[in-house]
Amino acid sequence: MQTNRIAVVTGAARGLGQEFAVALAARGYPVAGWDIADQAETAERIAHTGGEFLPVKADVTEPAQVRAAIAAVIRKFGAVHIVVNNAGIYPPIPFEKTTIDDWHRIMRLNLDGPFLVTGAALPHLKASGWGRIVNIVSAVVFLGPPDLVAYTTSKAGLVGFTRALANAVGADGITVNAISPGLASTETAARTTGADGGFERVRAMQAIPRTESPADLISTLLYVCADGSGFLTGQTINVDGGSAFV
């Protein structure tokens, strides 16, 4: 299926961002992946699907780099229609050991990043009269794990950003929704949580007793990006196997 909807996915070099970029490209969306890391693996996977991919090196917390990245997408594709704000960090730090530098680093990537990327893309979405903004949050917003106070706060802020922005841009034909994963089995998650204890702990909380995979999120992503989802906006869709019933 070929589509003329152009997608931007941040944090596309690995983890969920890579899976989202590959899935969109495989369904015919030309995709621009943004990351500070090398995206050769993402590009190779997308090439195998026959999809179109533009890797852009950009730090989403730096306004000048974000503006340059949007300009690169426009030069290549002529438009932007879909923005997936996926880039983020979730270092587990006990609250009493969280420094102000830790706090600012987490907020900067998890909140400032989506603000800057969305702000840069929004004029192009408005010009098209059609847009999908998808913010990747987390089930921790509904669970409040004690070692993720800063991260939980940042993602809760992104839920609020989703709801308020949906009201601000709905009349422009743009929807804004959030997807809330549980702990999905990516290399990033394994590196952050350490041994399988993190996955075991989360599985014990779920109604569905298996570890979430990135593939479990793809159908939701495609749903909120679809042409037929234009009446769905301001929502946070929890895809966590039932660890948080909201």
Q: What are 3-53's pLDDT values in tens digits?
A: 789 999 999 999 999 999 999 999 999 999 999 999 999 999 999 999 999
pLDDT of residue 195: 47
**How does the average pLDDT of the chain come out, rounded?**
91
SS3 content of the chain, % helix, strand, coil (to 5): 50, 15, 35
The sign one gets for the Cα dihedral 181, 149, 164, 35 is: negative
Residue 11 included in any domain: yes
User: Which residues lie closer than 8 Å to 235 by C-beta, 6 or more apart?
Assistant: 162, 177, 178
pLDDT of residue 214: 85
pLDDT of residue 206: 66
pLDDT of residue 49: 94
Residue 246 included in any domain: no
Residue 243 included in any domain: no
- Which one is predicted more confidently, 142 or 37? 37
Residue 59 included in any domain: yes
Residue 140 included in any domain: yes
Give the catalytic positions in this structure.
151
The structural domain count of the chain equals 1
Evaluate if residue 1 carries a pLDDT over 70: no
Structural domain that includes position 30: 7-238
Evaluate if residue 71 carries a pLDDT over 70: yes
By CB atoms closer than 10 A (0-12, 13-18, 19+), residue 226 is: middle
Residue 43: φ, ψ to 5°: -60, -40
pLDDT of residue 90: 84
Residue 1 included in any domain: no
If we measure between CA atoms, which residue out of 152, 141, 147 comes closest to residue 238? 141
Residue 244 included in any domain: no
CATH for 151: 3.40.50.720
Number of Cβ within a 10 Å radius of residue 157: 17
Q: Where are the beta strands (DSSP E) in the chain?
A: 7-10, 31-35, 53-57, 82-85, 131-136, 174-181, 236-239
Q: 211 pLDDT band (50/70/90 cuts)?
A: confident
Evaluate if residue 246 carries a pLDDT over 80: no
Evaluate if residue 175 carries a pLDDT over 50: yes
